[in-house]
Amino acid sequence: MTTDFVRLVTQVITINHAWKLSKDEFGVDFVATKSLRDIKSSLQATLLRDFPQHVYLAIASDNHEHQEALFSVRLREPLVVNGALRNDIEHLPERIANTLFTQQELQQLLARASA
């Protein structure tokens, strides 16, 4: 795995934590909360497009625990990030994925899970 890939993964995870803190403190409509969400999603899209050998998109296995349909950006091989072993790179809400990818891209990304 390249340094660029590991850096992007670390950024996504770090930004996701900041987004959760902002959402809890200021709400989902706060401008910084929205900005953090959008940055995280954009970086996830970059990972999916630029590093198909390392990541794939899957339907989140814990969808029943959430209020909306989610995808999961998954690692093909576990990776230690900030001292924790990771198998995924956070959730990507389906409604946001639909703005980042065409339907054809989404189908191709989901099909890579079995590749």
Give the C-alpha separation, 109 to 44, whole Å: 12
What are the beta bridge partners of residue 71? 59, 92
Q: Total structural domains in the chain?
A: 1
**pLDDT, one tens digit for every residue, the chain (115 residues):** 789 999 999 999 999 999 999 999 999 999 999 999 999 999 999 999 999 999 999 999 887 777 888 999 999 999 999 899 999 999 999 999 999 999 999 999 999 887 6
- 40: domain range? 3-114
Residue with tokens 């959008």: 38
Give the C-alpha separation, 21 to 23, whole Å: 5
Give the C-alpha separation, 66 to 64, whole Å: 6
C-alpha closest to that of 112 among 53, 65, 72: 53
- The structure tokens listed for 34 are 């929205």
pTM: 0.92
